[in-house]
Structure 1
Amino acid sequence: MPSTQDIESIHMRDWRWSQAEKIAARRAFEQALHQDLDTVMRTAKERIAQITKPAELWDIEDWLGDQRRRIDRDYDYRYSVLPIVFAGMIRSGRLTENDLHGIDPAKLDIIRRIASY
């Protein structure tokens, strides 16, 4: 993960996003979010189907709470942090660089550098 100093030196807060970039960013963000939510739902259904004891319900509740907190933490669509969010998604395999088609190459280069940390 890049240090705060590295991130501040990039000045992402000052980036300007064109309308086309905003559309491309939203498309990629929503794609990753929907895939992640689909995975959580599929896994939850599988886990529920395997329940044999009432106490196991609470294990699923805890797991779902963990998943919700992770998703809330990982999916932040503020433009000031979106490059870091995209870098994390690339690093985790939820997005590829091709999914970010339409975003300025200079921004993609920064995202790529952050993802490599």
Structure 2
Amino acid sequence: MNFKWSDSEKKVARRAFDKALEKECASIMARFKDMAAKVEKPEDLWAVHDYLTKQQRAIDEKYDYRYSQLIFVFARLLGEKWIDEKDLHGLSAEKLQAIQYILSG
């Protein structure tokens, strides 16, 4: 899927992308703080490290802001509930249909 992105769509996409990233990072930070507060033994410390490493990889893999990938990214973010459909208001009907098609598959 190779869509052309208008300037207004690029702004909508950036806002939705940043919102999802901020929400997911806030969730990770909350879990990290909870885990860190419970550290009592060295192995607890490494469990926190392992959690953060895993989350960093997941974030790096998921949040790809190339326009050629955004339809897939937004479908995933909608499916995982990091954004709502209203966050994508302003994208073309064609892009929204493609996102819904990916979600339904």
When the two structures are superposed, what TM-score results if normalisation uses the length of structure 2? Answer: 0.96
| Unaligned 5+ runs, structure 1 | 1-11
How many residues are treated as equivalent by the alignment?
Answer: 105
Cross-structure match for 2:30: 42
Q: Is the 8 A contact 1:40 1:67 kept in 2?
A: yes
Q: Which runs of 4+ in 1 moved over 6 A?
A: none
- One-letter amino acid matched to 2:57: R
Q: Secondary structure at the match of 1:113?
A: helix
The answer on 1:104 being equivalent to 2:92 is: yes
The answer on 1:30 being equivalent to 2:18 is: yes
Cross-structure match for 2:60: 72
Q: 1: distance between equivalents of 2:84 and 2:77? A: 8
Q: Is the 8 A contact 1:21 1:103 kept in 2?
A: yes
Cross-structure match for 1:20: 8
Q: Is the 8 A contact 1:91 1:116 kept in 2?
A: no
Q: Secondary structure at the match of 1:65?
A: helix
Give % identity.
43
- One-letter amino acid matched to 1:34: E
Instruction: Please report how far the alpha carbon of residue 96 of structure 1 lies from its aligned counterpart in structure 2 after TM superposition.
Output: 1.4
Instruction: Please report how far the alpha carbon of residue 95 of structure 1 lies from its aligned counterpart in structure 2 after TM superposition.
Output: 1.3
Task: Provide Cα deviations, 1:54-95, integer angstroms capped at 9, x if missing partner.
Answer: 221011101100000000001000000110000001111111
Task: Provide Cα deviations, 1:23-71, integer angstroms capped at 9, x if missing partner.
Answer: 0000000000000000001110000001111221011101100000000
- One-letter amino acid matched to 1:75: Y
Q: 1: distance between equivalents of 2:29 and 2:78? A: 22
Q: 2: distance between equivalents of 1:27 and 1:95? A: 10
When the two structures are superposed, what TM-score results if normalisation uses the length of structure 1? Answer: 0.87
